[in-house]
Structure 1
Amino acid sequence: MTTGLSVVVPMYNEEAVVPTLVARLRPVLDGLGIPYEVVAVDDGSTDRTAELLGVQRRSWPELRLIGLRRNSGHQAALTAGLHRSRGDWVVTIDADLQDPPETIPEMLALARDRGLDVVYGVRSDRSTDTPFKRYTAGAYYRMMRRLIGGDVPSQAGDFRLLSRETVDVLRALPERTPVYRLLVPALGFASGSVSYVREQRAAGDTKYPLRRMVALAWDSAADFSAAPLRIATWLGALAFLACLALMVFGIVVWANGTVIPGWTSLFLAVLLLAAVQLICLGLLGEYVARIYRTVQSRPAFHIAADSLDPEPGLAEIPQQRSAASVR
């Protein structure tokens, strides 16, 4: 069974923002005049997020709740929502309301009028973010365009509209750790963009601290480019040239009859080679680890319940999870 529009909202410990999200999102979607569903993916929250969504669902039948058994990460929650969505069009949006849901009608109208498969929400003003956040975000997009190519839209996060054809292609890809802000442009579907001003977070704390930002940057580089391997190659070449220079130096000293202790040059050469070898092994290990995870074929997420399923026991989402369930 399909519907006109699906809105996928990954959520992790967002109890503070649930009422505001519903108050802003529902009028926008009701005003579209088409059948829709809101696929809220509870990413193993330990607060009352699932409980509050269950309460909202009683008066909002279009709200659909999917619960993951553990905290699997933002991109995995997006994947779960995309795979379970039924809409001819699918919008992905975060729950913090920094990306305004009022932009959704404009995105849908642009896609229909111009026959587009993808419409990106592009942040024209990020003054509500901290200077550090703005700088690191800009550096991320510059690095990705340099490594991958110019198809990566600048300042476009995970707020986008996708056609059903695009979603079906994404579902068929064998990606284990998808980074959709890079994967979607790489597909080459006809695309456009809608600009908006990034707002303050409605409530709660950010779910993307520095460590997750660094992890996202690494996943982006390792999944979409062989540049880290090329770095290892260049380091190996430089180390080889350094060894040649040391050999020339040793031959010149021997030819001049100068007696010097040999342990210093040998010690430095061994240190240099050992350091480069360790760096290369580390980079190669990252790729081997990804191959290993792929060969294991372990799912990136496990769905505990879907409010749309008719089976007994899956109609209601557990109201609260313990902290142990995410470990």
Structure 2
Amino acid sequence: MGTDLAGEITLSVVIPMYNEEAVISGLVARLRPVLDGLHTEYEVVAVDDGSRDATVALLTAQADEWPQLRIVRLRRNSGHQAALTAGLHRARGRWVVSLDADLQDPPEAIAEMLRLAQAGADVVYGVRADRSTDTVFKRQTARAYYRLMRRIVGAELPAQAGDFRLVSRDVVETLRQLPERTPVYRLLVPALGFPSAEVRYVREARLAGETKYPLPRMIALAWDSVANFTAAPLRLATWLGLGSFLACLALIAFGIVGHLRGVTIPGWTSLFVAVLLFGGVQLVCLGLLGEYVGRIYATVQNRPTFHVGSDTAEDQPATPELSNTADRPAAPEPEANAGRPVAAVRG
């Protein structure tokens, strides 16, 4: 089905990509029939996150045969969340779906997501009901991550919901107004409190290629999640300082009692241990404080988290934009709610 991308668009599908040449043909072969079957105006926003392989060339070849496919290129590798931000900011649909290119999250669920959105949900989460295709380590670390995040963000965070979701235009515009420099959307979107629903699915094995979330990136995501949503590490520094103070008092009392009793205390050993103990605690506290000061410094600098090099939907090269201040076309008027009531809507 053909459509004029300059006209009104109902659905945008944002797909961050980094060195995904092995999955592009399979992704298009599976995604396009799903979207064509919706019988609605749509676009696919493929965000190339500075790939070094043939990802862009393959996308360009596919765009020749698929007019709804847009290619947004970032000038350098900025990370998955930054690429997702670039796609969300440039998507023009009334509803926007974020989808990874590896097909672990099934595109067939988009139809049900759109139905729930048209029935009144501003956010529809894709929830992984079965992760048996993941390794045991991946499942256990994911379970621990979501347990921790639910304690931080609240019970409104769906367990096992990643970045496969649908959001309305109202949610997109709200996200754009937030000053987040390193957004973690799987936590940020639930924290907004928009009415939501869930679509459960079985997580599949990666189509091809290698995962773009190895252990170091998983750790970085966990830290960003904690640092963006809670000051608990700073409180930990406070408790460590208090504990050190109490330990110091205890050592002073011990020294005084020993002196009054005439007990000889080896001075070098106690001094050495005390210096190591208190010095270590101070370094930990300074490190935690430094992490937050660094985030404040980065925010004050207000440097862009991504630069768009080109967009095939525009006649001229795109100008660099900030992730929280980008200009965009006016959003279309919300469509009246239609369809039957949503059984799984929250909020």
What TM-score results when the alignment is normalised by the length of structure 2?
Answer: 0.88
* Distance in 1 separating the partners of 2:192 and 2:94: 18
* Distance in 1 separating the partners of 2:242 and 2:289: 16
* Distance in 2 separating the partners of 1:313 and 1:219: 29
- Which residue in 1 is equivalent to 2:235? 230
Does structure 2 conserve the Cα–Cα contact (< 8 Å) formed by 1:117 and 1:190? yes
* Distance in 2 separating the partners of 1:232 and 1:149: 23
* Distance in 2 separating the partners of 1:221 and 1:133: 19
- Displacement after TM superposition at 1:75 (Å): 0.1
- Unaligned regions of 5+ residues in structure 1, if any? 315-327
Residues 313 and 224 (structure 1 numbering): CA distance in 2 closer, same or farther, change over 3 Å? closer
Does structure 2 conserve the Cα–Cα contact (< 8 Å) formed by 1:43 and 1:67? yes
Does structure 2 conserve the Cα–Cα contact (< 8 Å) formed by 1:147 and 1:227? no
Residues 1:140 and 2:149 aligned together: no
Equivalent residue runs for 1:201-216 within 5 Å: 201-216=206-221
* Distance in 1 separating the partners of 2:268 and 2:47: 62
- Displacement after TM superposition at 1:127 (Å): 0.1
Does structure 2 conserve the Cα–Cα contact (< 8 Å) formed by 1:97 and 1:199? yes
Identity, % of aligned positions: 70
Residues 1:265 and 2:265 aligned together: no
- Which residue in 2 is equivalent to 1:18? 24
- Displacement after TM superposition at 1:149 (Å): 2.0
What TM-score results when the alignment is normalised by the length of structure 1?
Answer: 0.94
- Which residue in 2 is equivalent to 1:152? 157
Amino acid in the other structure paired with 1:68: L
Higher normalized helix content (fraction of residues): 1
Does structure 1 conserve the Cα–Cα contact (< 8 Å) formed by 2:99 and 2:163? yes
- Which residue in 2 is equivalent to 1:43? 49
Residues 1:286 and 2:312 aligned together: no
- Unaligned regions of 5+ residues in structure 2, if any? 1-6, 320-347
Where in structure 1 do 4 or more consecutive aligned residues deviate above 3 Å? none
- Which residue in 2 is equivalent to 1:59? 65
- Displacement after TM superposition at 1:313 (Å): 9.8
Does structure 2 conserve the Cα–Cα contact (< 8 Å) formed by 1:6 and 1:38? yes
Equivalent residue runs for 1:1-327 within 5 Å: 2-113=8-119, 115-311=120-316
- Displacement after TM superposition at 1:312 (Å): 6.8
* Distance in 1 separating the partners of 2:148 and 2:304: 29
CA RMSD of aligned residues (A): 1.2
Partner of 2:278: helix, strand, or coil? helix
Does structure 1 conserve the Cα–Cα contact (< 8 Å) formed by 2:127 and 2:200? yes
Q: Which moved more, 1:247-256 or 1:43-52?
A: 247-256
Partner of 1:189: helix, strand, or coil? coil
Q: Which moved more, 1:87-96 or 1:239-248?
A: 239-248
Partner of 2:72: helix, strand, or coil? strand
* Distance in 2 separating the partners of 1:237 and 1:153: 36
- Displacement after TM superposition at 1:185 (Å): 0.5
Q: Could you report, residue by residue, the CA deviation over 1:52-85 in whole angstroms, capped at 9, with x for unpaired residues?
A: 0000000100000000000000000000000000
- Displacement after TM superposition at 1:263 (Å): 2.2
* Distance in 1 separating the partners of 2:207 and 2:255: 67
* Distance in 2 separating the partners of 1:95 and 1:261: 65
- Displacement after TM superposition at 1:247 (Å): 1.0
Partner of 1:3: helix, strand, or coil? coil
Aligned length: 313
- Which residue in 2 is equivalent to 1:323? none
* Distance in 1 separating the partners of 2:188 and 2:173: 13
- Displacement after TM superposition at 1:9 (Å): 0.2
* Distance in 2 separating the partners of 1:245 and 1:36: 69
Amino acid in the other structure paired with 2:142: A
* Distance in 1 separating the partners of 2:317 and 2:38: 33
Q: Which moved more, 1:201-210 or 1:142-151?
A: 142-151
Does structure 1 conserve the Cα–Cα contact (< 8 Å) formed by 2:113 and 2:199? yes
Partner of 1:196: helix, strand, or coil? strand
Amino acid in the other structure paired with 1:273: F
